[in-house]
Homo-oligomer: A and B are copies of this chain.
Amino acid sequence: MSDIFSLSVEDLAAKIRDAQITSVEVCEQYIERIKKFDKDIKAWAHFDKKLLLEKATEADNHRRAGKPLGPLHGIPVAVKDIVGTIDMPTECGTPIRKGKSYSQNAEIVDLLHSAGAIVMGKTTTSELAFLGPSKTTNPHDYSRTPGGSSSGSAAAVASYMAPISIGSQTGGSIIRPASYCGVVGYKPSYGLISRNGVLRTSFNLDHMGVFGRKVEDVALLAKVLIKKDPYDPATIYYSADNMLSETKKGPLFEPKFIFYKTEHWQLIEKKSRDAFEYFIKSFKNIETFDTPSYFKDIHKYHQIIHETDLANNFSHYYKKYKKKLSKYMQTAIANGNKHSAKDYAEAIDFMKRSYESYQEVFEDYHGVLSPSSPGVAPKGLKSTGTAEFNKVWSYLGTPCISLPLLEGENKLPLGVQLIGDRYDDHRFLGVARWLEKECEE
């Protein structure tokens, strides 16, 4: 495999900046990979080779003209097909939106452009970022699911069809596919990345996030995307200026971890469970604890909020195109229409109360660990797997990251999930980098 695939995104951007390689040359290498592998992996909802090379040429001309360059200048980035782009359709994984486009770029697309990055294409998503699977397969075994809903974004990075990509998570849509595909998937704290111009499934639970092959790569991409946006009222002022440098610096002391096997531990296949047990034992600074009892309530409340928000946001589709919706979506909306306001309000209220309890962990520990998924990617393409190991942290709005540190059955990748404290993403990524490095050595 050629050199550019082993470089960090930061180093690749430096090479482009220093004219050691052009953006066109970089993109051509990715186009080669796509030609070779996408017929089997099917990670792209929209990919136009000609458009990509035009953008890369423009980036190279921009550099040659001596204009100021952003931190991702000339770097191609894959973007989940729920993110609005004016130069490509945004179909959101549903036949209802076949060929349809958004009239504006999403805020994060503008931020990518400001950083000099190139939107190289749109990656597949499960139906409306929920559970109905896309056409995409797992790069490690085409007969298995890549996970969802950010299926294409995880698969594209795993198969070196893109260096980095953007996804989103409402239940487990970043962490699960990252685990199944063997890449790094990072969901920042709630409200760090704007969702303005992106398909809304749940205001309360939707998070944007990123995929890469290394922690440093996701830190760099996140840094570019984190910005207060008046059009997404959930976004907060959070300075990401030092995000990459803090990630590289890592923690000052050896961090202490807590490992939650969670109540779903028995769902995990034996080989994967053994891999986790081995991982836990190989560190002196990991303590195993029972899951807090309120995690059960969180699962209940996550479902009430998620289903109700789906019912509200897709009521139009449900009324007009019900038959074009998957059974997953039809059931969720039907449930969503039945919940009571009292339960919903309680579910929202418990977000704040449970976070207060969760936060106490960080008085004694620097990170929480847990499986990213109940084992390796399951066989078949009719389901994207379950998000039982992810919903708690989507609900709590805490940062989480899946690190491709283990192997389960058939030597398939298996992710370790690290979770941090809300709005502590700098330090959190430093700890993630520390863990990644420990496992390299």
Contacts and interface: CB of A to CB of B under 8 A. Distances in A.
A32 to B, nearest CB: 45
A349 interface: yes
A37 interface: no
Dominant SS at the A interface?
helix
A345 interface: yes
This chain's copy number in the assembly = 2
Given A339-B340, A340-B337, A341-B304, A312 B355 contact: no
A233 B355 CA distance: 10
A368 B13 CA distance: 50
B344 A336 contact: no
A96 interface: no
A346 interface: yes
A355 B345 CA distance: 21
B342 A312 contact: yes
Contacts of A203: 348-349, 352
A315 B346 CA distance: 11
Contacts of A309: 345
A343 interface: yes
A312 B346 contact: yes
A308 interface: yes
A342 B345 contact: no
22 contacts: A203-B348, A203-B352, A231-B356, A233-B352, A233-B355, A308-B341, A308-B342, A309-B345, A311-B342, A312-B342, A312-B345, A315-B342, A336-B341, A337-B340, A337-B342, A339-B341, A340-B340, A341-B341, A341-B344, A344-B344, A344-B345, A348-B348
Interface of A: 203, 231, 233, 304-305, 308-309, 311-312, 315, 336-337, 339-346, 348-349, 352, 355-356
